[in-house]
Structure 1
């Protein structure tokens, strides 16, 4: 049984379950321009420390953990305003097209709630290229999606079962595209069915 699930694995799983399997079961990871930009951004953001900005206390590079959900990971930034805790996840690029980033923020919120005993109802995703924050409502629906993703990732990590490589628009920016070759897998499947 898996001890703890990395919070980032939920993001990878929601982006592509096959990618998640490759990264966390096979230990395979390849950089591309997007992952290098993301790593560079996080290197700058993860300077450990805290500071006060007017009414907002900001804490960087905070380790989060949830015993209930068996999650662990590092938050880019946690803000505290009037006793309310708010996770802020940094991403390269512009506003995301997919919901995987929101799910990662929700997982951070679940950890923060357990660690602080306070409800977390709001998070943000900061997009570096646009210098914009996207609010993320930590709704009941998003929480259920996060809990379902936690269960799915747990199953992949515990069983090692490989999800199929399915070609989607997301494949175009994936650093692992050359390893899984989803179009080739689809051709093999069609050939077998013919």
Structure 2
């Protein structure tokens, strides 16, 4: 076998590996429920912090989604949860995702059409509707009122309380 044939076979092998790798990544992306657009921001414990922080002075709110994809010119937030998938996403997770949608709307000038909550083995596409936006703003106002008054809601004292960032302030 000549040098030309060896180079041709090596090129063919590398091309085949590249095609298989692209296919595998595309399939995994679909399984995880990730959008097909370009990944523009990621914030995970396994990677160095390269996620984009979003901030809204108007709402005095800031946050960093786990992933942000650009799909057809729109930013799509993805929030990854480590726990097993519930039958439906938890309300607190939906509101967290809605907060990222609001932040993207404020910084980009237009809202994302949806966001994704990815649990282990299952993902949920959550439409960012005017009703969800209004609910988020209502909950934020309620939370600010509680913080301002010093009154905290009754808790349930479970693992969520132990992991909560406000457990030292809460009267639960």
Report the TM-score, using the length of structure 2 for normalisation: 0.62
Displacement of 1:139 after TM fit? 1.2
Q: 2:55 aligns with which of 59, 62, 65?
A: 65
Q: 1:117 aligns with which of 92, 109, 115?
A: 109
Are 2:37 and 2:69, in contact at CA under 8 Å, matched by a contact in 1?
no
| Aligned 1:69-80 pairs, distance under 5 A | 69-80=59-70
Q: 1:89 aligns with which of 41, 56, 79?
A: 79
Aligned equivalent of 1:105: 97
Q: 2:154 aligns with which of 159, 164, 177?
A: 164
Find runs of 4+ consecutive structure 1 residues off by over 3 angstroms. Answer: 177-182
Higher normalized contact order (CA 8 Å, seq sep 6+, divided by chain length): 1
In the alignment, structure 1 segments of 5+ residues that lack a partner are: 1-52, 183-194
Matched, 1:143 2:144: no
Question: For each residue in 1:133-187, what CA deviation from the matched residue of structure 2 results, as whole angstroms up to 9, or x when unmatched?
Answer: 210111122111100111011112222212223x4xxx554243998896xxxxx
Question: For each residue in 1:27-68, what CA deviation from the matched residue of structure 2 results, as whole angstroms up to 9, or x when unmatched?
Answer: xxxxxxxxxxxxxxxxxxxxxxxxxx9742331122111122
Q: How many residues align?
A: 124
Report the TM-score, using the length of structure 1 for normalisation: 0.56
Aligned equivalent of 2:15: none
Are 2:69 and 2:76, in contact at CA under 8 Å, matched by a contact in 1?
yes
In the alignment, structure 2 segments of 5+ residues that lack a partner are: 1-34, 43-50
